[in-house]
Amino acid sequence: MEKLTYEQVLAMDLPNIIVYAAPVMIAFTLLEWGISQYKHRKTYDNKDTLAAFAIGVINLLITAAIKIATFGIIIFFYNLAPFKIEPSWWGFILCLIWIDFWRYWSHRIAHTCRFWWATHVTHHNSEKYNFSVSFRLSWTQHIKIVFFIPVALVGFDPVTFFICHQIEVLYQFWIHTEYIRKLPKPIEYIFVTPSHHRVHHGRNKQYLDKNYGSTFIIWDRIFNSFEPEVEKPDYGITTPVNSYNPIYLNFHEWMDIFRDVRKSRSLKQALVMIIDSPSRIAEKKKEYGID
């Protein structure tokens, strides 16, 4: 079978769905902000919102700048696949489910390995929960493309991958709100809803490291990481950053890792500081005498 080239994919003139959806997302964010102001609810913090927009805009620029590299990786592994799944309606559905499966695991690993947590913490270090939080995507998150190599290796063509991946990203927008309460049970059982994702952003003890699902909550139910929303979540990370600086919000965990590795007394300690669970780092630092 003839190999697909990057030039062939570019010639297809694929639509950037996220760019087209951006004005709609911004409009809904402004609407939610207006409702919060009208009802005197503290859903938004203006400095926090501006930081989210700045992070989001720069993330879009980074995405565009490295598009050739990231898309090239998918094409490379697609060409290694022993068989190909041609574009079709059923192939699209299967690809969406397969991508969502790997999004679940990449998300879960990002909460249980400090290195990957550094690529994700930016999304969690706000103590507010609103539509603008969906824009807070780390500038270093793009290295997580490695988790989606299995999608290409199965034989889903890069065009289908590109569209399904954008849909998965866009789905995240509407679940970042407090204004949509619990939905009918069939929806809550299958799909990720705002109620599920509020739990994920909570730092309440029973909510920590729960509900990793992206579009489908069924993965959390299958792999025992599901937690229903009961009490109101307390949003943010366990150690607040107390900053609105977009650069610091993106790199504070990387800086902490670098400092802890530099103070480590052995290779083993250094590796623990990099790959252990974020929830155990404080305990390990105390054990190793790293202040």
Tell me how long the chain is: 291
- 85 by DSSP, 3-state: which? strand
Q: Are the beta carbons of 158 and 4 closer than 8 angstroms? A: yes
In tens digits, the chain (291 residues) has pLDDT values of 567 666 666 666 666 788 889 999 999 999 999 999 999 999 999 999 999 999 999 999 998 888 888 888 988 999 999 888 988 999 999 999 999 999 999 999 999 999 999 999 999 999 999 999 999 999 999 999 999 999 999 999 888 998 999 999 999 999 999 999 999 999 999 999 999 999 999 999 999 999 999 999 999 999 999 999 999 999 999 999 999 999 999 999 999 999 999 999 999 999 999 999 999 999 999 999 998
- What pairs with residue 191 in β-bridges? 216
- What pairs with residue 202 in β-bridges? 235
Q: Which two tokens stand for residue 112?
A: 């249980």
Element (H, E) at 143: none
Task: Please report where in the chains the tokens 């697609």 appear, as a residue.
Answer: 78
